[in-house]
């Protein structure tokens, strides 16, 4: 089965750059990990994960050992890469940036929002893992700043938010909502009353979109695909939790400057 991935209209306009929001389709994994599980931290058979990651690298036309990721910790930390390095040397961070051709920056998700960035004029790219904690901490803004440090111009940066959990599927409690309202009363717009008293539905995609808008980049778009609802296409941490499953797969979202660009 061929790999399936989604793309952004905005990022397709970036010359010499390849990108993909990969789905769960087209891999070697079995069972709850079927089939394109790329999560090195999962309990899946590691040989299957390596096969899956190699297929992703091939689809991006990069060497398997040039598929770069970070040890994600739900933070605002960003790693700047100038050359490939072993995965064991990955920093604890939630975003990567580079201006080096042939490196694929990857973010692993299973409900959190993957965000890919590109400055088309200077061939600088970035990728961010924006769960609510990372987005709240400022991972979007820190990724843009790290791109600027490499020479990017904020007003030339385009971005795209990939598949993530939708507001309809993201139930949270009062304590969660209070954190946002204490920062700004205006954050109420990201919450709708849940079916149970004291529960709320949180709009992660809307919140991440607002952080992108506040970052004053050139443009961004959302793919509007729910990881929880589309079991045929996506892994979902929350769906697995609701079912009492012991683990879950992870999708990769990737962006790379083509080596021959």
State the residue for tokens 């991440």.
Answer: 208
Q: Could you tell me the pLDDT band of residue 261, with boundaries at 50, 70 and 90?
A: low
CA distance 78 to 209: 19
CA distance 124 to 62: 17
User: Which residues partner with 67 through β-bridges?
Assistant: 104
Q: Pick the closest to residue 40 from 85, 98, 88, 2 (CA basis).
A: 88
Per-residue model confidence (pLDDT) at position 187? 98
Per-residue model confidence (pLDDT) at position 66? 98
Q: How many Cβ atoms are within 10 Å of 90's Cβ, its own excluded?
A: 17
Q: What are phi and psi of 232, to 5 degrees?
A: -65, -25
The answer to whether residues 128 and 94 touch, using CB atoms and an 8 Å cutoff, is yes
Per-residue model confidence (pLDDT) at position 96? 98
Per-residue model confidence (pLDDT) at position 104? 98
DSSP sequence for 20-36: EEE-S-S-S--GGG-S-
Per-residue model confidence (pLDDT) at position 32? 98
Q: Write out pLDDT tens, residues 48-76.
A: 999 999 999 999 999 999 999 999 999 99
Q: Write out pLDDT tens, residues 247-260.
A: 999 999 999 999 97
Q: Write out pLDDT tens, residues 213-229.
A: 999 999 999 999 999 99
Burial class (CB in 10 A: 0-12, 13-18, 19+), 243: exposed
State the residue for tokens 């490939």.
Answer: 84
First-to-final CA distance of the chain = 29
Q: Could you tell me the fold of the domain covering 5-164+216-257?
A: 3.60.140
Q: Is the pLDDT of residue 175 over 60?
A: yes
Q: What percent of the chain has pLDDT over 90?
A: 97
At residue 155's C-alpha, the angle toward residues 149 and 158, to 5°, is 90
CA distance 87 to 96: 13
Residue spans of the domains in the chain: they are 5-164+216-257
Q: What is the mean pLDDT of residues 2-22?
A: 96
Per-residue model confidence (pLDDT) at position 224? 98
Q: Pick the closest to residue 80 from 62, 105, 108 (CA basis).
A: 105
Per-residue model confidence (pLDDT) at position 1? 73
Q: Pick the closest to residue 15 from 97, 124, 100 (CA basis).
A: 124
Q: Could you tell me the pLDDT band of residue 168, with boundaries at 50, 70 and 90?
A: very high
Coil, strand, or helix at residue 134?
A: helix
Q: Write out pLDDT tens, residues 30-53.
A: 999 999 999 999 999 999 999 999
State which H helix or E strand residue 129 sits in. Answer: strand 124-130
Per-residue model confidence (pLDDT) at position 260? 79
């Amino acid at each position: 089965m061929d790999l399936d991935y989604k793309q952004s209209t905005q990022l397709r306009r970036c010359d010499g750059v390849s990108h993909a929001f990969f789905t769960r389709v087209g891999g070697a994994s079995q069972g709850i990990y079927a089939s394109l599980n790329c999560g090195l931290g999962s309990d899946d058979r590691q040989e299957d994960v390596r096969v899956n990651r190699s297929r992703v690298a091939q689809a991006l036309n990069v060497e398997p050992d040039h598929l770069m990721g970070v040890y994600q910790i739900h933070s605002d930390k960003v790693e700047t890469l100038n050359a490939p390095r072993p995965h064991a040397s990955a920093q604890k961070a939630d975003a990567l940036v580079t201006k080096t051709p042939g490196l694929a920056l990857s973010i692993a998700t299973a409900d959190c929002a993957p965000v890919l960035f590109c400055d088309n004029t200077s061939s600088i790219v970035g990728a961010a893992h924006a769960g609510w904690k990372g987005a709240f901490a400022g991972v979007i803004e820190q990724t843009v700043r790290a791109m600027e440090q490499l020479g990017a111009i904020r007003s030339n940066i385009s971005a795209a938010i990939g598949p993530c959990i939708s507001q309809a599927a993201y139930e949270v409690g009062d304590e969660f909502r209070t954190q946002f309202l204490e920062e700004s009363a205006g954050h109420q717009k990201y919450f709708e009353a849940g079916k149970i008293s004291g529960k709320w539905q949180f709009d992660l995609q809307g919140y991440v979109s607002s952080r992108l808008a506040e970052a004053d980049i050139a443009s961004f778009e959302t793919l509007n695909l729910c990881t929880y609802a589309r079991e045929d296409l996506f892994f979902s941490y929350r769906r697995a939790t609701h079912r009492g499953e012991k683990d879950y797969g992870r999708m990769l979202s990737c962006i790379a400057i083509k080596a021959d660009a």
